[in-house]
Homo-oligomer: A and B are copies of this chain.
């Protein structure tokens, strides 16, 4: 791109033509007639306007989405959906609010009357639920039992989402992980749990949080896991979880815990057309990369700083 060594007169001339063309939407031929120059000359001056930087194109959203990062993330990880929220400072609190709100608008856009929505629990999804005034679909299914202490806000997400009129909820009133296979099997036989599980194959859109092992995951901290369990899983390379599916840095899925979990199975997740992870922050970056690598999700909502980190690697 050549330096701008043009005389001021030529600059003004070019600017005038560029204004007519880009701002007033006139055609090259119209401008040629008005100025008395040939259409070829106009075309060449417009080229020069771009080459010298007199005309610059700015592509940006006014609604807090970093479009450039969204695009790069989408292309880098082969995602169908990618939305990067422009969060100015990286305060955990503010970031979760922003991601939740952004994910909310994304849902409004994606969901149709006939869709069936699957959700996990989590702080960020709570923020999302709080931000939503309406839900364009009629069924909401819980993708997994509650990861953290059940009495806490584990069921808040689905409760809020289904509080909106006419939405049918399929909650799972149980913990995500059990201390042994039999306990999990027993719960799976319960009618209400079974009903939720029945819905998994109907789900068309899934939205879930990502847990970062070992330092930022309620599932990892769940008391049903023994220290031995945790050590074993870490030694297997687990760095992230989505719903209850465990993933390594290489994006490989670890199934060791499957039979002790009350959650949608990996294969069922992959069968869902639209599956979106919502997560951000330094502590979750590695986990997010692992989940993206696994192909478990094909959409991501994250913050700008995390997006940069994901792209930097």
Contact = CB atoms under 8 A, between A and B. Distances in A.
Nearest to A83: B8
Contacts of A23: 57, 59
A40 interface: no
What secondary structure prevails in chain A residues at the interface with B? helix
Contacts of A15: 59, 61, 67-68, 70-71
A311 interface: no
Interface in A20-72: 22-23, 49, 53-63, 65, 67-68, 70-71
A6 to B, nearest CB: 8
Interface residues of A, number: 40
B65 A105 contact: no
Given A70-B15, A71-B19, A8 B58 contact: no
Nearest to A9: B109
A4 interface: yes
A259 interface: no
B67 A11 contact: yes
Contacts of A71: 12, 15-16, 19
A63 to B, nearest CB: 6
A18 B59 contact: yes
Contacts of A65: 8, 11-12
Contacts of A76: none
Given A7-B106, A8-B106, A61-B15, A67 B83 contact: no
A276 to B, nearest CB: 10
A275 interface: no
A45 to B, nearest CB: 13
A268 B263 CA distance: 93
A202 interface: no
A130 to B, nearest CB: 18
Interface of A: 4, 7-12, 15-16, 18-19, 22-23, 49, 53-63, 65, 67-68, 70-71, 74, 81-83, 102, 105-106, 108-110
